[in-house]
Amino acid sequence: MSKTNWQDPGSGEIRSTHMSGLQEAVGKIEQSIGIQAVSELDIPLSEVFISNDDRSRIYQAPEGQRNWLSSPAPVIKQNGVTITADFEIDYGGGAIIFNTPILETDIMTADVSHTSQVLNKQLSSEDYSTADKNKLAGIESEANKYILPETLPANMIIMSGTDIETKVIDIKQDLDSHLLDIEKHMADIQYLKVRGIRYNG
């Protein structure tokens, strides 16, 4: 298994390259594990407080409802009315950033699809491919789901594994015996042909 050589910036500068690298890594993980997505309506967006001099500009979804998908496109609503201009979307952060601050009394919501955690699930240590998963998923639908009744009829024959093995051995011995007979007859026919005698057996 390969691993990125991440370098701890320590107390030094955190550059945009660090962030873009992390974003790419997260994207690869999401694609590799086939993470699920859910769609939700009217997710409340709360103001992200920066300072008293920078109010009513950044609004974000609650934890668990961030990490938005680009398709279908998020629908942003201001006081229940869809808006399409004067803001940009931070998909990863599940937020919108207005170019011009809005009123503190404005209510912001969003209709979005976002990645979702599957409860009570964790990654397996086994390396299953998509093809492997599809094969495993089809086993139950094709499996023989016959259940023996609690009371079996008297004429039903139940064979154990040992019984089956014994039967197979008996069949093989019978076949071997017949093959020996056939080989003997073939040898007799060949002998009679050499002697010029017609075989009537």
* Top-confidence residue, 146 or 62: 62
* Top-confidence residue, 67 or 128: 67
Type of residue numbered 24: E
Sign of CA dihedral 44, 50, 51, 56: negative
pLDDT 10s digits, 127-180: 667 777 777 777 766 566 666 666 666 666 555 556 667 777 778 788 878 788
Rounded to an integer, what distance in angstroms lies between the CA atom of residue 95 and that of residue 79?
Answer: 16
* Top-confidence residue, 16 or 200: 16
Rounded to an integer, what distance in angstroms lies between the CA atom of residue 152 and that of residue 158?
Answer: 10
Rounded to an integer, what distance in angstroms lies between the CA atom of residue 50 and that of residue 33?
Answer: 35
Other C-beta atoms closer than 10 Å to the C-beta of 75 total 14
Work out the pLDDT band at 124, boundaries 50, 70, 90. Answer: low
Supply the pLDDT for residue 39: 97
Rounded to an integer, what distance in angstroms lies between the CA atom of residue 161 and that of residue 102?
Answer: 77
Supply the pLDDT for residue 108: 98
Mean pLDDT of the chain: 83
Residue carrying the six token digits 């039903």: 156
Give mean pLDDT, residues 50-77: 95
Predicted structure pTM score: 0.58
Domain definitions of the chain by residue range: 35-116, 159-201
pLDDT 10s digits, 179-200: 887 877 777 777 676 666 555 5
